[in-house]
Structure 1
Amino acid sequence: MSNVYVISDHHFGHTNIIDFESRPFRDADEMTETMIEKWNAVVTKDDKVIHLGDFSFLNKDKTANIVSRLNGYKTLILGNHDRGRSRSWWLDAGFDEVSENPIVYNGFYFLSHEPMYMNKHMPYVNVHGHIHGQKYEGKQYINVSVEQWDYTPISFEQIKAMVIPSEEQ
């Protein structure tokens, strides 16, 4: 049985993100290798990963090389830094699926790059990235930017456990 993971905001090849977000890497190459290792430490070839955007700042060949090294079936929801490239560019770079819009997952989770407005009376949860080291208050928002999860994809089982108390699962 395969697992489903989510993560966002790798910013592969973006040297300045190391300073902007106080990432613990000497340079972009160390950041790339560490993030690939952390991904493959939890994701198997049979798993699925939904990446919530801002994947790579590199050219298509370098991006494709990284995508090919990552385990799992990979879906990309375009982030603000990804939208300058076409859907077909990302598919050519190796993603299995690419969405230009948020995805509703299991009828309950809104998966998006940027946080979405969630009225406190809405019964849904917004799983998002974009805000890196920041967090929105409340259980309706789960930030899956790499800075929040030690640069490692988080499983939907973990997300579900955060949202629904264990006696209700």
Structure 2
Amino acid sequence: MDAALAAAWNAAVAPKDEVWHLGDFAVGHKDPAGLLASLHGTKHLVWGNNDPPAIRALPGWASAQPFAEIEREGHALVLCHYALRHWNGQRKGAWNLHGHSHGTLKPLPRQYDVGVDPRGYRPVRLDELRPRAAAAA
């Protein structure tokens, strides 16, 4: 399973792509540092409930934090491991990207569960969310 997830990551992510991992990285993996080093992209961690300090401190993260607000491709993004009920800029078009819920929550407008289980077991590209985002805007 680990090899399949890593292969799916590397098929979806180019070496120079930026990736924001929204928590629970390498749960139970015997060599998380080796796994992280094998994955393409500049990798940022927004840690989750299964990311102890040792995971957060792995070499290979460009950054590691509990929460992030960024702008990419003209979109204000609020990144958190957990789905938020309200977020900064929500009424002004900001999106909330999250993991944790494994596809079990009904999303609010402009809220996306980008965890691997509801997304084909691979990272999701921001442009893949646009068709739904346009309908929800």
TM-score range for the pair, normalised by the shorter chain length: 0.7 to 0.9
Q: 1:90 to 1:138 in 2, by over 3 A?
A: closer
- Pick the aligned partner of 2:77 from 109, 123, 130: 109
Higher RCO, 1 vs 2 (CA within 8 Å, ≥6 residues apart) = 1
- Is residue 90 of structure 2 the alignment partner of residue 125 of structure 1? no
Q: Return the offset for 1:126.
A: 1.0
Deviation at 1:42, TM superposition (A): 1.3
Which residue is 2:7 aligned to?
37
The CA deviation at 1:141 is: 1.6
Distance in 1 (alpha carbons) for counterparts of 2:107 and 2:83: 12
CA contact (8 A) 1:103 1:112 kept: yes
How many residues end up aligned between the 2 structures?
130
Structure 2, gaps ≥5 residues long:
none
- Kindly provide the amino acid, as one letter, of the partner of residue 130 in structure 1: H
TM-score calculated relative to the size of structure 1: 0.68
Who wins on radius of gyration, i.e. which is larger?
A: 1
Name the counterpart of 1:137: 107
Q: Partners of 1:58 and 1:65 in 2: how far apart? A: 13
Amino acid at match of 1:111: L
Structure 1 unmatched ranges of 5 or more: 1-30
2:119 pairs, out of 133, 149, 153, with: 149
Q: CA deviation at 1:64?
A: 0.5
Aligned with 2:62 (options 96, 99, 111): 96
Give 1:33 shift. Answer: 0.5
Identity %: 25
Structure with greater strand percent: 2
Once the two structures are superposed, residues 84-103 of structure 1 have per-residue CA deviations (whole angstroms, 9 ceiling, x without a partner) of 315xx534342121112x21
Separation of aligned partners in 2, 1:149 and 1:52? 13
* Alpha-carbon distance in structure 2 between the residues aligned to 1:108 and 1:78: 20
Q: Give the TM-score, by structure 2 length.
A: 0.82
Question: What amino acid sits opposite 2:11 in the alignment?
Answer: A
Structure 1 residue 58: Cα displacement: 4.0
RMSD (Å) for aligned C-alpha atoms? 2.3
Helix, strand or coil at the partner of 2:48? coil
Q: Secondary structure at the match of 1:37?
A: helix
1:51 aligns with 21
Output the amino acid matched with 1:81.
N
Residue 31 of structure 2 is aligned with which of 62, 69, 73? 62
